[in-house]
Chain A
Amino acid sequence: MAAGTGSGSTVSAIFSPVRIWLLLPSWVSIGFFLLLPVLLMLVYSFLTKEFRGGVIWEFSLASYDQFLFDRGLFGDAPAVMKWTYINIFIRSILQATGATILCLLIGFPTAYFIATRPIQSRTMWLFLITVPYWVNLLIRTVSMKFLIRDTGPLNELLLNIGLIDAPLHVINTNFAVQLGLFYSYLPFMVLPIYASVERYNFTFSEVASDLYASKITILWSIILPVVKPGIIAGSILVFVPSLGAFLAPDLLGGAKTFMIGSLVEDQFKGNAGNWPFGAAVSMILLSLVLVVLMFYVRAQQRDQT
């Protein structure tokens, strides 16, 4: 990009005396309106819930207790490990994993293909891939819903050409949710992988081929390890938002299977009205995400050494 005739360095300290002032607005706005609220949410998860919604400022472990333990319908049975909420988390993790794998299966070949196009058409391909991302997620989810419902265009098409006899019942199933998540976040998988493959030096492939390696071997043993950072980045960019997703399970899943996002939403806007519990679930989700991110950072650092 910038090929100056100067020192060539792009990090300088010209603005360092004023850097506090430059950085202060972002520190204050994010610190005050995001970091502080998250900490407050942590506090909330340890408060007592008020009957029919609201919170009482008294310390209580009730929310975490409710998450982990089943004390019976009446609250007085001996504590037994409760799987309901843990299942919701497991289900969400599985859904997110399913969506990530789907994205990988379709996204990797796509990214590879685009990266191996001649330079002029490459930007066009990238443009084509990114445009749908810019469309509102809600609209994309709704159009997917419209497409796959029992009386929708997809089923009509398949029925008309005789591939199936009865409508494929996809809507309101787990698969519909995974499809929705996959559809929402596919570009997030393609772009990082593309960036990695673009930097790959294809002379490696040529050398390997000269040494009689088959294309499959080249792909598996040479290209994949080099492209791994991109694959991991893409996977995280798909997995993390899918974990906390709300729109796909609500609109495509029939609101029958709660995922983490629906569980939290129900506490604050729906029927449940248990704020401390909603805060607790959010904290657990956040911790889960932070753990995933830490693994990523650790893996990055290891790769670089």
Chain B
Amino acid sequence: MNRTFDIKHYRGFFGITCLCLVILYGPLIIVMVYSFNDSVSITNWGGVSLRWYIEIFTGLESAKFKAAAWNSFTIAIMAATVSTVIATAASIGMIRGGNFKGKFASFALISLPIMVPEIVTAVATLIFFSTIGFKLGTLSILVAHTVFCIPFAYLPISARLQGIDASYEEAAQDLFANRWMTFRYVLMPIMWPGILAGFLLAFIISLDDFIITNFIKGAGIETLPTAIFGSVKQGIKPNIMALSTLLLLFSIALVTLSYFIGKRGEANQKSQQ
């Protein structure tokens, strides 16, 4: 074949891809750069300094952000854990449960939180809690987040499970393993990267959530996004940019982790074949 004529190549597509990356990363990088700005005014450059990072941890507003961060992380861990457990059970039920009537309806129900626009979920949840008299607080946020995270955890888990040959479990059954043992010793080790990916995805979704949390949080409770939003409305201050950068780096670390776990999972699987 003529090597200088690449059928796949379209002129300009590379340029657009680079533009895409510039657009995606540009604002984030700018925020990161300005978070090291020594001057109080964010528009003038005053030199490099870490003062805003120090201020987040020790300054006047630090108590508020620390409490918000604490709330965010504990809620995210608990919501992700519970929703991952529920999603794992659901995916086994859906994919290893044979065909049954209402399987489509079941799938629709599990995907419901993703289909419904976030604002509608927020409103419906607020109305519901208010009608049954459920006191708004950390627990209300936790419940809403758990429900909302289930489909996000479900997706990677079921994707992984779908790719696993059922013969492993059949072999275990032939060897008189009961269902729990089959799951625990056969399925779970192979599903493990998917479960972890689901957990990480649910964790990030819960950590990032703003709209639903803003609607149903109770008195005195802030999560990181709601605290940042409240602060940003009054003006984008450098300490917010430092906080945003920290969150940004944390998210990147999580994605990288998830990516490497995924790779190791695949490598393990290949080595088992």
CA A110 to CA B86, docked complex, whole Å: 36
In the complex, are the beta carbons of A139 and B244 less than 8 A apart?
A: yes
Shortest Cβ distance from A19 into B: residue: B97
Take A29-B146, A116-B9 as given contacts and tell me if A37 and B127 are in contact as well, using a CB distance cutoff of 8 Å.
yes
- Measured in the bound complex, the distance between the Cα atoms of B134 and A201 in whole Å is 55
Q: Which residue of B lies closest to A265 (CB)?
A: B119
Q: Are B10 and A219 in contact (CB under 8 A)?
A: yes
Query: Could you jot down 24 A-B contacts, CB within 8 Å?
Result: A1-B164, A6-B167, A10-B95, A11-B96, A11-B98, A12-B96, A12-B98, A13-B97, A14-B96, A22-B97, A23-B89, A26-B87, A26-B89, A34-B121, A113-B17, A129-B20, A136-B210, A136-B228, A136-B244, A138-B228, A142-B232, A209-B7, A244-B118, A261-B119
Known: A13-B96, A33-B147. A139 touches B228 (CB 8 A): yes
For the complex, give the distance between the alpha carbons of A155 and B122 in Å. 36
Chain B neighbourhood of A26, CB < 8 A? 86-87, 89-90, 109-110, 150, 154
Report if B92 contacts A (CB, 8 A): yes
Known contacts A3-B273, A127-B259, A144-B27: A285-B208 contact under CB 8 Å: no
Residue B170 is within 8 A (CB to CB) of chain A in the complex: yes
Give the contact-size bracket for chain B.
Answer: 35 or more
User: A244 touching B247 by the CB < 8 A rule?
Assistant: no
B117/A2 in contact, CB under 8 A: no
Judging by beta carbons under 8 Å apart, are B211 and A4 in contact? no
Cβ of A186 to closest chain B Cβ, rounded Å? 7
Q: Which residues from 254 to 279 on chain A have a C-beta closer than 8 Å to any C-beta of chain B? A: 260-261, 264-265, 268-269, 275, 278-279
Q: Is there contact, CB below 8 Å, between B247 and A33? A: no
A37 adjacent to B124 (CB under 8 Å):
yes
Judge whether A122 is part of the interface by a CB distance below 8 angstroms.
Answer: no
Given known A-B contacts A2-B269, A109-B16, A282 and B98 have beta carbons under 8 A apart = no
Taking a contact as CB atoms under 8 Å apart, the answer to whether B121 and A40 are in contact is no
The 9 closest A-B pairs by CB, nearest first: A6-B167, A13-B98, A4-B165, A22-B93, A19-B97, A244-B117, A37-B128, A143-B27, A37-B124
Chain A proximity of B11: nearest CB distance (Å): 9
Q: Which residues of A contact B118 (CB under 8 A)?
A: 241, 244
Q: Chain A contact residues (Cβ within 8 angstroms of B): what range?
A: 35 or more
CB <8 Å contact, B232 and A25:
no
Flag whether B60 is at the interface (Cβ < 8 A).
no
Q: Which residues of A contact B28 (CB under 8 A)?
A: 132, 135, 139-140, 143
Query: How close is B79's CB to chain A, nearest CB, in angstroms?
Result: 11
CB distance from A196 to the nearest CB of B (A): 15
B interface vs A, CB < 8 Å? Answer: 7-10, 12-14, 16-17, 19-21, 23-28, 30-31, 34, 42-43, 85-87, 89-90, 92-100, 106, 109-110, 112-113, 115-121, 123-128, 131, 143-144, 146-147, 150, 154, 161-171, 173, 179, 182, 190, 204, 207-208, 210-211, 214-215, 224-225, 228-229, 232, 236, 240-241, 244, 247-248, 251-252, 254-255, 259, 266, 269, 273
Q: Is A30 close to B, CB under 8 A? A: yes
- Complex: how many Å from CA A255 to CA B209? 21
> Chain A's nearest CB lies how many Å from the CB of B162?
6
Cβ of A22 and Cβ of B89 under 8 Å apart?
Answer: yes
Residue of A nearest to B143 (CB): A33
Does A9 reach chain B (CB closer than 8 Å)?
A: yes
Q: A26-B150, A33-B143 are in contact. List 20 more A-B contacts (CB 8 A).
A: A8-B167, A10-B166, A11-B96, A12-B166, A18-B93, A20-B93, A22-B97, A34-B124, A35-B109, A40-B124, A41-B127, A109-B10, A109-B12, A131-B252, A138-B228, A143-B30, A143-B31, A215-B7, A240-B115, A268-B215
Which residues from chain A contact B210 at a C-beta distance below 8 Å? 136-138, 247
> CA–CA, A38 to B90, complex, Å?
22
